[in-house]
Structures are given as structure tokens and as C-alpha cells.
């Protein structure tokens, strides 16, 4: 497996710390609203990455947080609390909002065939862990108290901008510019670890801490939740590109200061989904969700295919015209696969050969488009039907497009057709035996189910009423 690493800005061989096992951490959603299809682009790509690692024979443990506290409407510790904003909007409590949108998120994920990570941990479960890390940072002199909040002191670090020497302007992409200066901060990039005093007196969730009643800043949760479940050395950390700064930069700063050594080896960042007006974002108000796509008649897996057609390191522009094209592609692809008869014996050697081809091609920095190309190559190949179906089933462990699943409507139709045809046959037998009462009873039974039959010169034809 080769992966682009945002730390080194290069595509590198992926070598886990422990042979055969991967520790993988994903920044989860902030659950104050529905996920938009941009967020879900990131989760689809991360899902493919996880499945690909497993597909290539590695054992993966994947952890995801749920941000249910601490994320302010600007990524730089300013603005309103996102959860509180959601609660006010919907006249609910913060915990009700968190529960509702966490469930909505996983229901969207299920529709997109995104696997739930092995561990999912809401930030509000881990307050003692946050306090423990903040205490450690204070003891080691990496944090300070000012204006009754605790801040991380970025001037104590040899290197703060770790992502491949990007300059500050580049890193500020995605950070909103309505940032009001916090005068407690000693350095511009210092960030809050724990708030006891902030401008929101009505902060709904508060906890006791050695520094007074308060709540955590946003970044601390990912360092703590990751270490809680995956230890102090992490193989792989994922998120959307906007998470690179300040979120991931701050995660690295506090984690490595706390543990005193390198924390995570590979950083995987998914580029944004944009709409025609620019970056898709929840704070814009109107945004595209999976439910909206469904309401418009799209199968959510069409959106998954749309994402897989492009590379995760390129921005992707969404439009309904392109989605329509993808819907047509998906339909054609599925009917081509459905036409592959399950005949012959599975050629195990070919199965292995094509499996390895997929690992090679898609394993080259998550090249999902190459995976789709290989799928068409399988269909075009001279392999027998059973082997083709075996390979497709194998590939679908990563692509997760339900390639071999018959459309529900068609499946129902097939079932219905078989039932109606059996009854028609029975009726013909009854007629032949001059049992007209029985023949009529069958006709009535079908009619009661909304099936009309007609005797024609070509035989019996049926239709739905
Ligand atoms: P949030 O719920 O805002 O914390 O974001 C959840 C995930 O979606 C994070 O990994 C973000 O980096 C990612 N994300 C946010 N906006 C987009 C977008 N337009 N395209 C792709 N990923 C995004
Ligand atoms: Zn995070």
C-alpha cells in the first residue's frame, strides 16, 4: 500500500508500527446538524481506505470521536458553540441534539455502505481523560492559565506548522475570517484547552475541573480519544482537508508535548466537495444531505459511486447533471453484472490474481477510479461467470456498491412474476380438467391481489391493476 502523507507531502509506502496491524483514527462529525454530502465524501473515502487496508490483509482497529461539545462556530476558539446553536435553533437540549444528529449521521452512513468504526466515542464521555492531559501539559509548561481559561502555548514548540512547510496563509484556508482576537492568548496561534470563563454564560454542558467549572476546547478530544483506544503511537489519522489547520496541527502540538515523542506517522486528508458556488458547508444554511438526494429519487449509492469516480486528493464539484450521469452509469453497471450468469466453477487462481491486481492498483494512494476500471476489465474478460461474480463480490468488499444485490423493485417483480406464472399454470391445468370453479377461484384470487389476467390467442397475459 502506498499513501500520500500530508506530513511529508509525498506518496509513501505504508508501513504500520506493528506488523500486520493498523491503528486508525478518524475525526468524527460535529453533531449539531445533519452531515452534508461534503462531509460524507470524507467519510466515504476514509471507509474505502479502511476497507482497502483490510483487503490487503491488514488487521485494522479504527476509532472515531463524536464532537458533542467544544466546537465553536469558528475553528479558532471564537464564535458561538455549535451544539448550543443547534439546541437553540430546535428548542431542544444539547444532549437531545447530539443524540438526534448522531443517529442521523450513522443512518446516512448505513445508506452509503460506510462501515461503523470499531470504536465510536462521544467527547462528553471522556472529560476525565481531557483533564488528565491538560494537567500534564500544565505540569510540563506547555500550557498556561489566562483569563480563567487554560491555553496551549505554541511558542514552546520547536515546530508548530508540521504539515510540510506550508505557510500560514495556506493553512488558513478553510478557517473563517470572522475571528475576533482573544486577548488572553500570549501568541496568536495559542488555543484553548479548557474554558472556565467564556462569553457564553449559558453554556449548557459544564464539568468540574481543577480550574473551575467549565468545558473543553475542541482539539483536545481527538488526542485523548485516540490515545485512550489506540495508545501513544498511531499509524494513521484521517479527516477532511479543512481539519489540517488548526485542528490537526493543534492535535499534534498537544499530543506530542504530552507524550514527549512522535505521535502519528501518516496523515490522510480528503479534499473538499464543492458546489457550484464554492465549498459546501453547514453554516451556509441550505446544504445537500443524503435525505435530500433520496427525496429527489437518487439511490444513495449513486452518490458513493460519484465519489469513487474521483481521486480523494482533488477537489470535487457536485452538480445534479453529473449525478444524473452517475445514476445512469450505476444502472448500466448493475445490469451488466446481473447479466453475468453464475456458471462454471470459480477459478481460485484467477480470483487471487485479480485480488492482487486490485490491491496494486487501488492501493496506489487510494485510486478508486482504477478500481472501477478493473471492475469493467473483469466484465470484459474471458473468465467464466462464476469467477467473474466471485471477483466482483471480492471488489465490492472495498467499493461497497451492492454490485451483486438485485434492485429491490426487480427482486419483488421476480418474486411476483414467479407467483403469478405458477397460478396461471395451475388455472390452465384446472381448465384442462374441466374444473372451471377452481379456474375461476384462481382468477379471483389473483384479482384480489391486484393482478388481472386475460385469455388471448397468444395465451394468458397478465397485468397489475
Ligand atoms: P464536521 O462535522 O464539521 O466536524 O466535519 C466532519 C468531516 O467533514 C471533517 O473531516 C471535515 O474535514 C469534513 N468536511 C467538511 N466540509 C467538507 C467538504 N465540503 N468536503 C469534504 N469534507 C468536508
Ligand atoms: Zn479531530
Q: Look at residue 459 in the predicted model and tell me its pLDDT.
A: 81
Atom of ligand 1 nearest to the CA of 42: 22
Domain range for 422: 409-464
Nearest CA to ligand 1 atom 5: 29
Q: Which of 280, 361, 368, 284 is nearest to 40 (CA)?
A: 280
The per-residue b/e assignment along 252-268, b for 16 or more CB within 10 angstroms, e otherwise, is bbbbbbbbeeebbbbbb
Same domain, 241 and 136: yes
Same domain, 227 and 307: no
Nearest CA to ligand 1 atom 9: 240
Question: Do 189 and 160 contact (CB within 8 A), yes or no?
Answer: yes
Rounded to the nearest whole angstrom, what is the distance from the C-alpha of residue 27 to the centroid of ligand 1? 9
pLDDT per residue, tens digit, the chain (465 aa), is 999 999 999 999 999 999 999 999 999 999 999 999 999 999 999 999 999 999 999 999 999 999 998 777 777 777 778 888 888 888 888 889 899 999 999 999 999 999 999 999 999 999 999 999 999 999 999 999 998 899 999 999 998 988 865 556 555 544 544 456 688 899 989 999 999 876 566 677 889 999 999 999 989 999 999 999 999 999 999 999 999 999 999 999 999 999 999 999 999 999 999 988 777 776 665 689 999 999 999 999 999 999 999 999 999 999 999 999 999 999 999 999 999 999 999 999 999 999 999 999 999 999 999 999 999 999 999 999 999 999 999 999 999 999 999 876 666 677 788 888 899 999 999 999 999 999 999 999 999 888 888 888 778 888 876
User: What pTM was estimated for this model as a whole?
Assistant: 0.86
Same domain, 28 and 88: yes
Rounded to the nearest whole angstrom, what is the distance from the C-alpha of residue 407 to the centroid of ligand 2? 37
Q: Look at residue 14 in the predicted model and tell me its pLDDT.
A: 98
Same domain, 148 and 113: yes
Helix, strand or coil, per DSSP, at residue 3:
strand
Question: Ligand 1, from 42, 46, 64, 306: best to mutate by most atoms within 8 Å of Cβ?
Answer: 42
* 332 Cα distance to chain centroid: 25
Same domain, 211 and 300: no
Q: Look at residue 88 in the predicted model and tell me its pLDDT.
A: 85
Q: Look at residue 394 in the predicted model and tell me its pLDDT.
A: 98
Q: Which ligand gives the minimal distance to the CA of 312? A: 1
Lining ligand 1 with CB less than 6 A are: 27, 29-30, 38-39, 41-42, 67, 239-240, 242-243, 270, 272-273, 279-281
Domain count within the chain: 3
Per DSSP (E only), the strands in 187-314 are: 191-195, 215-216, 234-240, 264-270, 273-275, 278-279
Which class for 463: exposed (0-12), middle (13-18), buried (19 or more C-beta within 10 A)? exposed
Same domain, 62 and 205: yes
Atom of ligand 1 nearest to the CA of 242: 12
In this structure, is residue 122 part of a structural domain? yes
Same domain, 326 and 413: no
Question: Do 254 and 130 contact (CB within 8 A), yes or no?
Answer: no
Question: Do 238 and 25 contact (CB within 8 A), yes or no?
Answer: yes
Same domain, 294 and 189: no
Helix 368-380 / helix 320-338 crossing angle, nearest 10 deg: 40
Q: Look at residue 376 in the predicted model and tell me its pLDDT.
A: 98
Q: Look at residue 35 in the predicted model and tell me its pLDDT.
A: 95
Nearest CA to ligand 1 atom 12: 240
Q: Which of 181, 199, 164 is nearest to 80 (CA)?
A: 199
Rounded to the nearest whole angstrom, what is the distance from the C-alpha of residue 115 to the centroid of ligand 1? 17
> What's the DSSP call for residue 248?
I
Atom of ligand 1 nearest to the CA of 273: 20
Same domain, 395 and 417: no
Please name every residue paired with 239 in a beta bridge, in sequence order, or none if there are none: 269
In this structure, is residue 404 part of a structural domain? no
Separation CA 16–CA 56 (nearest Å):
13
Question: Ligand 1, from 242, 286, 313: best to mutate by most atoms within 8 Å of Cβ?
Answer: 242
The residues whose Cβ lies within 5 A of ligand 2, an ion, are: 27, 222
Q: Which ligand gives the minimal distance to the CA of 71? A: 1
| Residue at a domain's end among 279, 302, 336 | 279
Q: Which ligand gives the minimal distance to the CA of 243? A: 1
In this structure, is residue 284 part of a structural domain? no
Rounded to the nearest whole angstrom, what is the distance from the C-alpha of residue 308 to the centroid of ligand 1? 17
Q: Which ligand gives the minimal distance to the CA of 221? A: 2
Please name every residue paired with 237 in a beta bridge, in sequence order, or none if there are none: 25, 267
Rounded to the nearest whole angstrom, what is the distance from the C-alpha of residue 423 to the centroid of ligand 2? 60
Amino acid at each position: 500500500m502506498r499513501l500520500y502523507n500530508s506530513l511529508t507531502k509525498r506518496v509513501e509506502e505504508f508501513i504500520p508500527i506493528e506488523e500486520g496491524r493498523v491503528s486508525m483514527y478518524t475525526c468524527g462529525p460535529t453533531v449539531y446538524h445533519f452531515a452534508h454530502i461534503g462531509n460524507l465524501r470524507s467519510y466515504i473515502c476514509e471507509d474505502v481506505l479502511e476497507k482497502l487496508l483490510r483487503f490487503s490483509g491488514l488487521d485494522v482497529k479504527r476509532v472515531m470521536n463524536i464532537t458533542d461539545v467544544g466546537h465553536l462556530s469558528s475553528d479558532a476558539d471564537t464564535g458561538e458553540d455549535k451544539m448550543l446553536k443547534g439546541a437553540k435553533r430546535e428548542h431542544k437540549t444539547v444532549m437531545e441534539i447530539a443524540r438526534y444528529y448522531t443517529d442521523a449521521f450513522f443512518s446516512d452512513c448505513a445508506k452509503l455502505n460506510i462501515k461503523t468504526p470499531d470504536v465510536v466515542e462521544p467527547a462528553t464521555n471522556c472529560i476525565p481523560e481531557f483533564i488528565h492531559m491538560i494537567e500534564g501539559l500544565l505540569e510540563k509548561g506547555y500550557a498556561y492559565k489566562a483569563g480563567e481559561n487554560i491555553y496551549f502555548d505554541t511558542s514552546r514548540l520547536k515546530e508548530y506548522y508540521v504539515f510540510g512547510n506550508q505557510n500560514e496563509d495556506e493553512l488558513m484556508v478553510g478557517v473563517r475570517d470572522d475571528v475576533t482576537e482573544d486577548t488572553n492568548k500570549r501568541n496568536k496561534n495559542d488555543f484553548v484547552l479548557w474554558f472556565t470563563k467564556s462569553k457564553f454564560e449559558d453554556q449548557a454542558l459544564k464539568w468540574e475541573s481543577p480550574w473551575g467549572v467549565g468545558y473543553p476546547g475542541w482539539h483536545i478530544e481527538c488526542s485523548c480519544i485516540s490515545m485512550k483506544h489506540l495508545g501513544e503511537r498511531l499509524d494513521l489519522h484521517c479527516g477532511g482537508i479543512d481539519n489540517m489547520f488548526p485542528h490537526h496541527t493543534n492535535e499534534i502540538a498537544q499530543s506530542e508535548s504530552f507524550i514527549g515523542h512522535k505521535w502519528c506517522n501518516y496523515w490522510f486528508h480528503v479534499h473538499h466537495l464543492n458546489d457550484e458556488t464554492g465549498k459546501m458547508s453547514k453554516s451556509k444554511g441550505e446544504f445537500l444531505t443524503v435525505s435530500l438526494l433520496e427525496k429527489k429519487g437518487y439511490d444513495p449509492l449513486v452518490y458513493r459511486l460519484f465519489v469513487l469516480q474521483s481521486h480523494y486528493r482533488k477537489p470535487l464539484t457536485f452538480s445534479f447533471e453529473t449525478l444524473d450521469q452517475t445514476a445512469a452509469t450505476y444502472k448500466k453497471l448493475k445490469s451488466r453484472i446481473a447479466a453475468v450468469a453464475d456458471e462454471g466453477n470459480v477459478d481460485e487462481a484467477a480470483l487471487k490474481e485479480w485480488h492482487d491486481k486490485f490491491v496494486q492498483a487501488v492501493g496506489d494512494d487510494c485510486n478508486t477510479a482504477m478500481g472501477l476500471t478493473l471492475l469493467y476489465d473483469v466484465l470484459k474478460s474471458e473468465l467464466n461467470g462464476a469467477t467473474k461474480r466471485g471477483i466482483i463480490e471480492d471488489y465490492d468488499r472495498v467499493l461497497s456498491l451492492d454490485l451483486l444485490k438485485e434492485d429491490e423493485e426487480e427482486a419483488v417483480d421476480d418474486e411476483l412474476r414467479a407467483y403469478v406464472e405458477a397460478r396461471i399454470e395451475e388455472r390452465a391445468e384446472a381448465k384442462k380438467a374441466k374444473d372451471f370453479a377452481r379456474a375461476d377461484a384462481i382468477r379471483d384470487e389473483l384479482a384480489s391481489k391486484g393482478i388481472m389476467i386475460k385469455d388471448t390467442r397468444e395465451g394468458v397475459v397478465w397485468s397489475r391493476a
